[in-house]
Amino acid sequence: MTNNTAQMQAITIPEFGGAEVLRFAELDVPEPGPGQVSIDVAYAGANFAEVLYRQGVVDVPLPFVPGIEVSGRIRAVGPGVDGLRVGQPVAALTIVAGGGYAEVVVTAADLVAPLDEHGPDLDLAAALPSNSTTAFLVLDRVARIEPGEKVLVHAAAGGVGSQLGQVARLLGAGRVVGTVGSPAKIDVAKRFGYDEVVLRDRFDNAGEFDIVVDMVGGANRRTGLDGLAPMGRLIVMGNASGAEDVGVSANELWFTNKTVSGFNLAAFSAAYPEHAGRALRRAVAAAARGDLHVQVESLRWDQVADVHRRIETAATTGKIVLEVAAR
């Protein structure tokens, strides 16, 4: 019997391991179900999350197609979807089930942001769904930032960090300080809304902060908690250092009037897709207006192994997108 199912190319994780395990494979083109759309992918964002999938830190079924964000054009629209049409350029979160490292991906229509004629180009659009959406959600919905508050962000030159500094400014922060891991990243981070950028291993007392966002973990987590003002909020959203977990005493929070919250974009998007989509559309609009800058580097998707090595050794600044089939 002949298989007439349409085929596509995708980058897969057939086994957990180093960047060398990534493999191209031919797979069936996915079809959208109710409330979903399929997208012909132009660019796929490259993120630390995909490195964690590949390393086996996040439990995913193998073989797995990674890829948490894309830009491209709507290929097909599933039942019950309104406001999106075939051929429409879009940016989209594909973080709930992955699949962005492919020629075609399916995602919930709620997690899609249309790009109008004034919208960002497709390469920039692919850099927005994960990091920029996260920045709006973390500062607005989780930290509940108030005008004039002081914000500290660890890993300020990275993909998320570069957006957090700018979004803090857009939301009215009074002072925004970032930390970085190497001297070469100080000037890079300063372009993204920070009043001051310092080396993490030399970070001392820079005053009290109302909000601390920690993607690094380890000693930074304890330093961040100690540096909170009364009613301050520590937002935990990563552990790039790979350090052991840091315990926090509930009694300490009680006596000091401090809060620790966690944020995971995948879990949030699965539980509250409409809210994640709203933040994505907010990020796209800000980028289209020129209020949100992303430093984007576009590379061919057959360079994915080298891209992963750069990400996991912290040798990147800004954002890398993989060119799948630029349209």
Domain residue ranges of the chain, discontinuous segments joined by +: 7-127+294-323, 131-265
Query: What's the pLDDT at 1?
Result: 44
pTM equals 0.93
**What is the DSSP annotation of 49-80?**
HHHHHHHTSS--PSSB---SEEEEEEEEE-TT
Domain 7-127+294-323 listed as CATH 3.20.20.30 = no
- Which parts of the chain sit beneath pLDDT 70? 1-4, 204-206, 326-327
**Is the N-terminal amide bond of 63 cis, ω within 30° of 0?**
yes
Domain 131-265 listed as CATH 2.30.40.10 = no
Residue-wise pLDDT for 261-287, tens only, equals: 999 999 999 999 999 999 999 999 999
Torsion of CA 30, 33, 37, 41, to 10 degrees: -10
β-pair type (23-28, 7-12) = antiparallel
